[in-house]
A and B are shown apart, each in its own frame.
Chain A
Amino acid sequence: MSGFIVSEIIIPVIKSVAVALFPLVMTVVMIWMERRVVALIQSRLGPNRVGFEGVLQPIADAIKLFFKEDIMHRGADRSLFNLSPVLTLFTSLLAFCFVPLGDSINVFGYTINLWVAESPVGLLLTLGISSISVFGVIFGGWSSNSKYPLLGGLRSVVQVLSYEIPIVLTVLSVVFFSHSISLVDIVASQKAEGMWYAFYLPVSFIVFWISAIAETNRAPFDLPEAESELVAGFHTEYSGMKFAYYYIAEYTHMVLASSLVVILFFGGWLPPFPNVEALSFLGYVPGFIWYLVKIMFFLYVFIWIRATFPRYRFDELIRLAWKWLVPLSLANVMAIALVRSLG
């Protein structure tokens, strides 16, 4: 009986809390890392006062935001204005349900899978749920009843609509190899192949990565919140914790995008070259650590790109999606389908 309670109630509850906390912890790490790395690239110091090398700076920021006045201006649509940040954060956290953070581990005789839910259509669900969060952005921009947020919201509609297509098309090319759209199976099939899919599908990886940056509204595609044009874009009117929700959601999306890239193209929790005998000692490092190292690398690339590139203009962004990425990913999918059906 007690075994049942542990395996069916306690472990799932702990896992759910842990998976909900994981993106939040990563947000804290990322805020610090982003500011320090950008400072490093720009040859300045960055926050280094609060705690060791400024690691407590995000905590201090969070406390500040928590105690800020929560302003809602008179023209705003009350219910939608309150709902949007919650919607954005909630859906982006929810998408983590299906993301495997590592291999199964054994603790006190119980086998624990490092994912909350395993679904045969996990990939579709993850993409679908994370896309819902764009409604939070649109509603946030709309319900603010103010011009800059409205323009930011409008931009994000078009941007997300455009970049969903190459994302789904590139994901399709991965599915041709894995024969499954469960995220766990996709990683497992990379183990069976003995190779990360990024080496089989370099074009898919690049298209997916570019689209993922665009989906997360990060530089150089950060048009919905283009600071120098739209002040702060869709969250101009938000303050206090509601602003913090958007802020956390943005980082959560970055972690999610990195996780998807790692799972689809870089073998998730697998060590490099899992089937090579000489490198088998790498397998002693826990899978979660490999996963963490890999997503940290991609999160670093996010920051690196932001510090280096100018911002795209809106029409060029759309042109990039429809004239380059969509045809490229279509041709890619067809070529891979042809190769797979012949081979």
Chain B
Amino acid sequence: MSFKDIELNMGPQHPSTHGVLHLELAVDNEIVTRVKPFLGYLHRGIEKICEQRTYQQITPLTDRLDYLAAISNNLAYLLTVEKLAGIEVPRRGQYIRVILTELQRIASHLAWVGFFANDIGAMSVLLYGFAEREDILEIFEEYIGARLTVHALRIGGVPHDLDEKIMDMIRASLGTIPGRLADIEGLLSENRIWKHRTQGIGVISGTDAIEFGLTGPVLRATGIRWDIRKDIPYSSYGDFEFDVPLGKNGDVYDRFQVRIEEIRQSARIIRQALDRLPEGEIRAKVPRVMKIAPGEVFHSIEAPKGELGFYIKSNGTDRPERVKIKAPSFINMHSLELMCTGSLFADVVGILGSLDIVLGEIDK
């Protein structure tokens, strides 16, 4: 029997395909010669359902896209609707949105670090990341009552003001982040096995990354500075000082470093927003039945996974005529074939993990 060209079906039931992704791999003595993703195991037709819901009713649907970063999805959708309807969100509302989305980014990145390290075989990091994420989810629970699919933002602003208790919880959580990150980095960053498994693996050049339309930490790991929060500021991100962490080599290790640094920068943004929280309204006046005049608009934000965009076309009723979601995971996943071909089978898991895909967003 020859071991050339074994065809392996990785998934949809496999411990490290992060959901129900199905990869068809051709392996030649453990060297990958072909990668073909099969999608749709989690397809729920969210874009189509949106056409039958009012604008308010769509918000909770967006929670189910990238379920590890529900608030970011909410924000992307709501900003698009507000742009279409011409609604101005009060400054306090904008700041609270920033605080919540940055907390969500930290939670999403921490979950990613854990799952990714677990894919490489470092099992304890998962729990260290989740300990901090748990604190953040408790903040969400205190704020809105839910933890995962939160539905924390509303058209025109946010549903509740931040009270002292939540602000204290946020400050306490920010205080524990440096220590927990030090734990994670202490276990991984300088570990020889970790470096062997991540450095020079899954390399993609900046040019290729742009060709493929990659966004988010995967793009920034190649050294290209593109962060919508900085370049096209929305929701008063222009008010805050923060750095855009960049990688150099575009490999798995750089993606890890970029995300760890982004957690620190997000903490920095939250601290500034808490200190300078403006007084005033938290939500603009929005009619209960919201009819939007015919028009179409696209708006995108910097979600934890990359550039998350919504295209909405209105037709004068209280429901959109068409909603199209530009999901970063979907686009980033397409670089998998380029990165995996020629690498070892064991690295496919690491590369796939490093892209930080969520199947809820890919299959919609």
Contact = CB atoms under 8 A, between A and B. Distances in A.
Interface centre among B16, B123, B126, B345 (most CB of A within 10 A): B123
A317 to B, nearest CB: 10
Contact of A43 (B121, B127, B188, B196): B127
Contacts of B6: 147, 150-151
Given A231-B15, A310-B121, A42 B197 contact: no
A308 B124 contact: yes
Contacts of A231: 14-15
Interface residues of A, number: 30
A313 B119 contact: no
A41 interface: yes
Interface in A181-230: 219-220, 222-223, 226-229
Interface in B116-134: 117-124, 126-128, 131
Interface SS majority for chain A? helix
Contacts of B346: 223, 226, 229, 313-314
Contact of B127 (A42, A309, A310, A313): A42
B8 A147 contact: yes
B16 A220 contact: no
**Central interface residue in B8, B126, B127, by most chain A CB within 10 Å:** B127
B344 interface: yes
Contacts of A316: 193, 196
A62 to B, nearest CB: 24
Nearest to B191: A310
A220 B191 CA distance: 12
A315 B31 CA distance: 11
Interface string A130-157: 0000000000000000011011001000
B187 A311 contact: no
Given A42-B123, A154-B3, A231-B15, A310 B193 contact: yes
A340 interface: no
A300 interface: no
A310 B188 contact: yes
A227 B15 CA distance: 7
Nearest to A39: B127
A42 B131 CA distance: 10
Interface string B25-65: 00100100000000000000000000000000000000000
B194 interface: yes
B196 A313 contact: yes
Interface of A: 38, 41-44, 147-148, 150-151, 154, 219-220, 222-223, 226-229, 231, 306-316
Can you list the 5 inter-chain pairs with the closest CB atoms, starting with the nearest?
Answer: A311-B121, A42-B127, A310-B122, A228-B16, A310-B121
9 contacts: A42-B126, A150-B6, A228-B119, A229-B349, A231-B14, A231-B15, A308-B122, A311-B197, A314-B346
